[in-house]
């Protein structure tokens, strides 16, 4: 059960209105993979950025991969977006380890801003705009923390 489901259940029992989350049906929030070229990154250093599509991405050394990287399995991993608007790294490789935040994964792992992804010798960081990266209502803290959330009016986002 996710944190949101636990909160909704406890609120429903107390008779309070359920908190809506920031999930974007269009996969917004500019989800990116940011590569640090050459190890340690300093302000102003060049970076390579791969923009994730709402449909996700295949990552591997195969020519048809959405993100083609040398030295890893033909299909090393996939990043997919689930029904809750979470971006998830799915390990597919068998010869090269897939790690998130230093921990090898054998199935899948939800990504959060700042998650460090290692695929063989490649390292990248997942980022997404705050309004879309977590379950706080409409991305704002104006209503307080989750335990003391005030009702908020849905913003009129422009596309």
Least confident of 39-53, 61-75, 116-130: 39-53
Q: What is the mean pLDDT of residues 33-59?
A: 81
Query: For the segment 88-135, what is each residue's pLDDT rounded down to a tens digit?
Result: 999 999 888 999 999 999 999 999 888 999 999 999 999 988 777 654
Residues 6+ apart with CB under 8 A from 8: 18, 19
Query: For the segment 15-26, what is each residue's pLDDT rounded down to a tens digit?
Result: 554 444 455 666
Which domains are present in the chain?
24-133 (2.60.200.20)
| Position 151 confidence tier, pLDDT thresholds 50, 70, 90 | low
pTM of the model: 0.67
């Amino acid at each position: 059960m996710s944190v949101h489901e636990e909160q909704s259940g406890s609120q429903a029992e107390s008779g309070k209105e359920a908190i809506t989350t920031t999930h974007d049906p269009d996969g917004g929030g500019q989800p990116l993979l940011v590569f640090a070229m050459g190890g340690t990154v300093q302000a102003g250093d060049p970076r390579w950025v791969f923009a994730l599509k709402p449909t996700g991405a295949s990552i591997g050394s195969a020519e048809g991969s959405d993100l083609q990287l040398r030295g890893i399995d033909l299909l090393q991993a996939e990043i997919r977006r689930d029904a809750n608007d979470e971006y998830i790294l799915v390990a597919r490789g068998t010869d090269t380890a897939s790690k998130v935040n230093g921990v090898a994964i054998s199935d899948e792992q939800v990504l959060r801003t700042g998650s460090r992804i290692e695929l063989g010798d490649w390292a990248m960081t997942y980022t997404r705009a705050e309004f879309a990266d977590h379950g706080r209502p409409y991305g704002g803290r104006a209503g307080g923390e989750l335990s003391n959330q005030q009702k908020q009016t849905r913003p009129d986002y422009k596309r």
